[in-house]
Structure 1
């Protein structure tokens, strides 16, 4: 039997659409909100006019942070396994608040976890405060939500009391600064860091420890993951599928390390590493150091060719209100924390950091929009 993919706009997605996919009745893909170019790119990756690969029930487009997004083929069983393992780790089923885009796996998983427990998710409305949304959640149940680091940072500044109402606040989608986590936990927020991706049906490693049934290993090619939450592969791309999925393992292309206690530390994308003067610099670590500076509200770091160093570290910085960060101030700040090679050699002040439909910073857009040369 030939199965066709049903495309639904994010704004029109209903719980019935998600239930049908989880029951294997009607395969689903969610188109992201955004300008026509973003929607068209997602549609191209989803290939709605072509027969769907056997076994797939949901197709989710990746963020495309290092290039064009791909359609990831997820069986309903992988999504169900992920939800069950998450609830087992968190202390049992509960009520979920949806605060993320449903076109991305993290947001879609909130809907799935909620529906699989029989309690449809409460959706954070446009312009609604977190406090008001929490007030609409059922009483007498455990409360959960998922956020990206930027959302957590903003909520800590404006509504810390609302964050404390959750039994767990899952934070993922991008590297979370240790200082932000320390601040949240000191403020009584039950924050849980998650690591995973669309290809693993969302987060599958919580606070460095894999969920039940998930395998983790680190090779020269980066972190590899296995278990019942894995996707089948990529939509219409058997070559990419064969390269990423092999022998029951998924090659993430993320750098990391396993501690003696088996906990995973993620260092960032292998593709993002800036090699300057023969030294590998992780952009996420530099971003975290920059955000600790009192004159910096946010930062994105990337590399550019340099005739002397091979590559140079470039920082695009959002100034804190009333501040004017300068390269002579930021270079020693980073060097003291990460060593001289990590100190930016080029600085750009930007009004804000553009985001992908997943909520992750759009590094490619930032790099493309910043002119060459230090400011």
Structure 2
């Protein structure tokens, strides 16, 4: 009897290594590394982090990827730190295949049915205006690699400069120009005057994400000829996977029984670093992955397919006087109110109501919205119990990550303010 052949030795586990990502044009030095990772031919996985800072300790760089965190047929390319809005940031494990699927679906949505890794080569060029250690900025680089063009980099080391963005747009040489921004950058460009607005309008698409974009800001941009595309997604879905409320090709969106939005498709991460079996992820027998978000959403079908409307984070819901308030609905109403440039709504502890609704508002130049007026707007457009009882007038919203409002900082500011229900409490 011939003895059975010994099993083939398993290849050693690949390491997760830190990838310092510089700001400014030096980020282009990383393109060969990113190209290898995207193609699945890198002998390591990477954790991008800001150069000059340290990799996140929870991601355990320098250690091997654990079983289930990698796949030789579709290697893990990156472990991207999440924004940590609900606590300690986690590392979303993004495979090369997921990132390619995301890049190709984005190209098809933005540049038409002829787009793709071959047909679009050399036709589209991106302007990078976001930090590339976050998923939105990283995706600008990866989409550029997939398109076969070099992005033009806006140096944001000293802050975002509309003039630098305008110069970067002018420097593009490909037939199609694309960029990705956060709402605050879009607002600053529109406020910067005709030249910056013309630079925005010169793009075939301006993706805007990381935070909800107020409807008046969208209307203003589109009236100026800017082709704005709102995006929704997160590190766990390789960035944006729902554009203008429509899932990208291959992505399925479902509102579960509790209203939670679940996303399924090839762009979903394979899990979190060091957290096997995390309940946010589910893998079907055929390998299809689903991510259960922390967002509430309404999902319906119309003549064009699926339409998704995100109504806010489940953990951001405010309970005031025993009634629930969705901050996103109040923010939408406030954004349309007179004198309001930006608005974020949070809950703060209140001895009478349990929580009080707090409106943090950046006013338009020369304006100072009154709490009573904003309460009237919300009463009419949302509900009486949703009307804010405290107003914080700010020069700028505190931000975290690539441009998300820092709700924890606003709650702390509101707690230190005056819950008087009529007079504005100011901070800044």
Fold in common (TM above 0.5): yes
Aligned to 2:275: 237
Q: Distance in 1 between matches of 2:172 and 2:317?
A: 42
- CA pair 81-260 structure 1, distance change in 2 beyond 3 A: closer
Aligned to 2:109: 89
Q: Distance in 2 between matches of 1:80 and 1:50?
A: 25
Aligned to 2:138: 108
Higher relative contact order (CA 8 A, sep 6+): 1
Q: Is the 8 A contact 2:215 2:335 kept in 1?
A: no
Q: Distance in 2 between matches of 1:181 and 1:339?
A: 24
Question: Do residues 22 (structure 1) and 38 (structure 2) align?
Answer: yes
Who wins on radius of gyration, i.e. which is larger? 2
Q: Following superposition of structure 1 onto structure 2, how do residues 295-314 of structure 1 map, counting pairs within 5 Å?
A: 295-314=339-358
Aligned to 2:224: 187
Aligned to 2:6: none
Question: Do residues 286 (structure 1) and 324 (structure 2) align?
Answer: no
Corresponding residue SS for 1:252: strand
Q: Distance in 2 between matches of 1:202 and 1:264?
A: 16
CA RMSD of aligned residues (A): 2.0
Q: Distance in 2 between matches of 1:233 and 1:31?
A: 19
Q: Distance in 2 between matches of 1:320 and 1:208?
A: 28
Aligned to 1:373: 418
TM-score by length of 2: 0.81
Q: Is the 8 A contact 2:18 2:62 kept in 1?
A: no
Corresponding residue SS for 2:412: helix
Corresponding residue SS for 1:233: coil
Corresponding residue SS for 2:64: coil
Corresponding residue SS for 1:95: strand
Question: Do residues 131 (structure 1) and 147 (structure 2) align?
Answer: no
Shift of 1:352: 1.9
Question: Do residues 119 (structure 1) and 149 (structure 2) align?
Answer: yes
Aligned to 2:422: none
Q: Which runs of 4+ in 1 moved over 6 A?
A: none
Shift of 1:282: 1.9
TM-score by length of 1: 0.92
Corresponding residue SS for 1:16: helix
Q: Following superposition of structure 1 onto structure 2, how do residues 143-292 of structure 1 map, counting pairs within 5 Å?
A: 143-158=177-192, 159-221=196-258, 222-239=260-277, 241-247=278-284, 248-261=289-302, 262-292=306-336
Aligned to 2:395: 351
Q: Is the 8 A contact 1:103 1:357 kept in 2?
A: no
Deviation digits for residues 103-146 of structure 1 (CA, Å, limit 9, x no counterpart): 1111111100011111021111234432211111114x211111
Q: Distance in 2 between matches of 1:9 and 1:321?
A: 39
- CA pair 123-227 structure 1, distance change in 2 beyond 3 A: same
Shift of 1:33: 6.2
Q: Distance in 2 between matches of 1:181 and 1:72?
A: 30
Query: Which shifted more, 363-372 or 159-168?
Result: 363-372
- CA pair 161-71 structure 1, distance change in 2 beyond 3 A: same
Q: Is the 8 A contact 2:253 2:264 kept in 1?
A: yes
Question: Do residues 47 (structure 1) and 60 (structure 2) align?
Answer: yes
Q: Distance in 1 between matches of 2:296 and 2:216?
A: 21
Q: Distance in 1 between matches of 2:209 and 2:362?
A: 21
Q: Is the 8 A contact 2:215 2:336 kept in 1?
A: no
Unaligned runs of 5+ in 1: none
Q: Distance in 2 between matches of 1:17 and 1:322?
A: 48
- CA pair 4-199 structure 1, distance change in 2 beyond 3 A: same
